[in-house]
Copies of this chain bind each other. A is one copy, B any other.
Amino acid sequence: MTTAAPEAPAPTLDFVFHPRSIAIAGVSAKEGMAFGGSGFVSSLQEIGFPGPIFLIHPTAPAIRGIKCYPSLLDIPDDVDYVISSVNARHVPQLLEDCIARNVKVLHLFTAGFTETGDIERAKMEQAVVARAREAGIRLIGPNCMGLYVPESRLAMMNGQIPEPGPVGMVSQSGMNAGEFVRYALPRGLRFSKVISFGNGADLKAADFFDYLADDPGTEIIAAYLEGIQDGPRLSQAIRRAGAVKPLAILKSGRTEAGSRAANSHTASLAGSLQVFDGLCRQAGAIRVESLEALIDVTVAFRFVKRLAGPNIVVVGGGGGASVLAADDLAAAGLSVPPLLPETQAELARVTHEAGTSIRNPIDTTSLWEEKGFASTLMPAATAPNIDAVLYHTGFGGGMSRRGDVRSRLRSQAEELAQVQAKSGKPVVIAIRPSSDAEGFDHTQEFEDLCWRNDLAVFPGIKQAGDALGRLIQWQRMHNL
């Protein structure tokens, strides 16, 4: 015991996200493990962590070409960051080694602490935290996947790319952090920091909200929380983050069954949903009820940014889809107003059958004709009683076999982007999920083309409507 560390967080946690070297304890010598210690080695190699990675293994000389050491004490170089995948009972010794080697951060992937419900294991967790604090070492976890930080080339799972972006994410669950990233990347979201913090024994949600609120690389914050640790501090951190950046939170444990599951998972006390809901409203944060909705709101924050009003023009093929679209948008608090006579007259000039499908929703065959696409969309977008365009489409079922699909997708995405730029109004894309492999490929390609053209993409009309409705709700809370 040298100096007593303060209970309060360090003024900045920046060092946590920028380690120069990493050691991993508890890597299996067996091939083909994608999870645990070996999973971290594989993820860090894949994303291209630029510093040295050291492995700790009692007997193996090397794993995946990386030299192993029997103990942290045997590593000849400085180690900033240690990932623990050892059994919980070995963690106290690993911590002592970390202290001896001046390690700054210990990420405990290791589970088997308070979340087991076992009193002895809860005491062990408390002892580890106390010892780390007095030694000035910060802990991430236990029972978590740790960090994905593109700018530092840190990854918690495979498939996490080095390209950074403006979204910061805080998640009590490693799986939900991983799923968020996995589903968000094809939608064009890129990340500053993604943090899975599990039990939050030392560093807690509040620390990460505070950090992301100050982090210049983070413009939007998304969070998955299971429990309320240190309520007053968490409230303060959420209010602070919500005041300076768009913030969306998925809070689980909203039912008694979910609350019990949260306790089993990360030893979380879920608390009252009403209280949490009230906190979000005060903080100007959006609360959602699914991981999918969390991604959708983040896409709206990132690509739509602002809606001047709730009036949407719906454009796309299919009468049944149009009717359901109008219902879904209205249910999300948006409006699908009839277009004015002058707008309808303009649309009638480009459509064969000047009928009712140009009132709003718009569903005319002119969309599928050469040059008809933009000349149908443009009058709709520039209509005086319209604030945004929702274009819906889908691939598969043989429809995409017509003509050169690739070039059609490219020109459509470009024309949609031009409509957005020229009209000055958001153009939002809804793509129905595909039912066949060819359609899946086209969906992914169009999704990619759209976000690269700065268009918000959603996996369906209802999802787009819900996200736009929440964006308006957020604007109202912030008087925007």
Residues on A lying within 8 angstroms of B by beta carbon are 32, 34, 111-112, 115-118, 157-159, 171-179, 182-183, 185-186, 224, 226, 252-258, 260-266, 289-291, 317-331, 335-338, 353, 355-357, 359, 361, 363, 396-399, 401-403, 432-433, 435, 437, 440-441, 444, 459, 462
Contacts and interface: CB of A to CB of B under 8 A. Distances in A.
Q: Which of A178, A317, A329, A355 has the most CB of B within 10 A?
A: A355
A320 B403 CA distance: 44
A462 B336 CA distance: 28
A401 B175 CA distance: 18
Contacts of A338: 260
A331 B441 CA distance: 34
Contacts of A256: 330
A398 B324 contact: no
Nearest to A324: B252
Given A323-B252, A435-B182, A257 B336 contact: yes
A122 to B, nearest CB: 12
Contacts of A363: 265
B327 A175 contact: no
Contacts of A359: 260, 264
A407 B53 CA distance: 35
13 contacts: A34-B402, A157-B398, A173-B319, A186-B435, A226-B323, A252-B320, A253-B323, A261-B326, A262-B323, A264-B359, A265-B356, A433-B433, A437-B444
A432 B176 CA distance: 12
Given A32-B402, A264-B356, A264-B359, 10 more contacts: A34-B401, A111-B353, A159-B397, A182-B435, A183-B435, A224-B320, A226-B323, A258-B330, A261-B323, A437-B440
Oligomer: number of copies: 2
A459 B112 CA distance: 32
Contacts of A260: 326, 338, 359
Contacts of A254: 327, 331
A449 to B, nearest CB: 17
Contacts of A324: 176, 252, 258, 290-291
A331 to B, nearest CB: 6
A396 B327 contact: no
A437 B262 CA distance: 32
Contacts of A176: 318, 320-321, 324
Q: Which of A176, A266, A319 has the most CB of B within 10 A?
A: A319
Nearest to A320: B173
A116 B356 contact: yes
A357 B264 contact: yes
A323 B32 contact: no
A469 B328 CA distance: 22
A176 B325 CA distance: 12
A330 to B, nearest CB: 4
A397 B182 contact: yes
Contact of A336 (B178, B252, B261, B321): B261
A261 B322 contact: yes
A115 B320 CA distance: 13
Contacts of A327: 252-255, 257-258, 261, 289
Contacts of A116: 355-356
A254 B323 CA distance: 10
A328 B318 CA distance: 31
A438 to B, nearest CB: 10
Contacts of A258: 323-324, 326-327, 330
